[in-house]
Amino acid sequence: MIYSVNFVKPSDGMNPSVGSCFTFSPATVEEEILQNVSMILSTVRGTVPLDRNFGVSDRFVDRPVPAVNALMRAELFDAIEKNEPRAEVVDILIDYDKSGKLTTKVEVEI
């Protein structure tokens, strides 16, 4: 089955895939996997003390939009593949508004 996971800022504290805060005991395996993918997307690499390679690099911040698109797709795909092997990335949708605000949606198959 294919699921969509939206990027969520860490300060939001919400898991958009399940509509609630992160939990230590998800009700289903699917919910656990989607929560893990959401956590990967919302974590900047280098900020987790015992796993400095966890998360997504911030190397695409302040780059031109065409470069961000390619860098971000590769970065998200690699991070999910490495940190949550139970989720297979189907598609990564990146959208921008006129102000340059980026919206990211990752579709994964479990």
What is the number of domains present in the chain? 1
Confidence (pLDDT) at 17: 46
Confidence (pLDDT) at 63: 80
Confidence (pLDDT) at 21: 61
pLDDT < 50 positions in the chain: 10-20
Contact 108, 6 (CB under 8 A): no
What CATH number does the domain containing 72 carry?
3.10.450.40
Confidence (pLDDT) at 20: 47
The pTM of this model reads: 0.76
Q: Range of 44's domain?
A: 2-109
Q: State how far the alpha carbon of 6 is from the alpha carbons of 34, 40, 107, in Å.
A: 10, 11, 9
The string of pLDDT tens digits covering residues 41-57 is 888 898 989 989 898 88
